[in-house]
Amino acid sequence: VTAEAENGITLLKLLKEQTFDILIVDIEMPGLSGLEALQLALDDLGNTKIILYTAYSQFDYAQVAVRCHAYDYVLKPARREKMITLIEKCIRDLENERSHSMNSQQLKDVIKKIRPMLSEEIMAYLCEGVGDREKVLMYLQTLGIMEEGGCIVTFAVQTAPQDAGQP
């Protein structure tokens, strides 16, 4: 537990100031409901897993919970084992999301590093006819440079030698 809020206003303040991995929020809180605080802070929640823990099983609450991207909706009283299992599931999902995000970033970094080499091979093929046509077409499509039906035009500019007497 990294923070506690006795009322919805304190919860909203915490949500605006800090980042949380998992929130367990009661719907009915003094001042401002837990759902109202979540709605007001929705843009700040990112990938936070929200567990609504409440005595209310009203459909309206469940609808708002879905709009707030609630991970789960648990009715009081919940057994300790159920809450532990749910929190463990949140942790696993967070770890998977972070791993996937890290893998995506690593792939982007690799593409960024090899793009100049691919570009050089592509230009050698286009300008000088050197290289494997199928491989170059695959590179172009992979890099999003050419879609079906697209074309690339290349040309070489040669300059004429200047006479010593002319500017």
Angle between helices 59-67 and 34-41 (to 10 degrees): 20
**One-letter identity of residue 126:** L
- If phi > 0 it is left, if psi is from -120 to 50 it is alpha, else beta; for residue 33 that is beta
Top pLDDT among 48 and 167 is at 48
Q: Which residue has the tokens 């057994």?
A: 79
Give the residue, 144 or 47, on which the prediction is more confident. Answer: 47
d(CA 31, CA 34): 10
- Contacts for 1 with CB less than 8 Å, ≥ 6 apart: none
Can you list the alpha helix ranges (DSSP code H) found in 18-70? 34-41, 59-67
User: Please, which residues have CB within 8 angstroms of residue 60's CB and are 6 or more apart in sequence?
Assistant: none
Taking the C-alpha atoms of residue 23 and residue 38, their distance in angstroms, rounded to an integer, is 10
Report the C-alpha gap between 133 and 130 in whole angstroms.
Answer: 9
Q: How many residues are listed for the chain in this entry?
A: 167
Query: pLDDT class for 152, splitting at 50, 70, 90?
Result: low
Name the residue among 30, 40, 41 with its Cα closest to residue 7.
30
- Stretch 57-85: mean pLDDT, rounded? 88
Question: Which pLDDT score, from 0 to 100, does residue 86 have?
Answer: 94
Task: Tell me the range of 62-66, 93-97, 120-124 where mean pLDDT is highest.
Answer: 93-97
Rounded to an integer, the average pLDDT of 129-156 is: 70
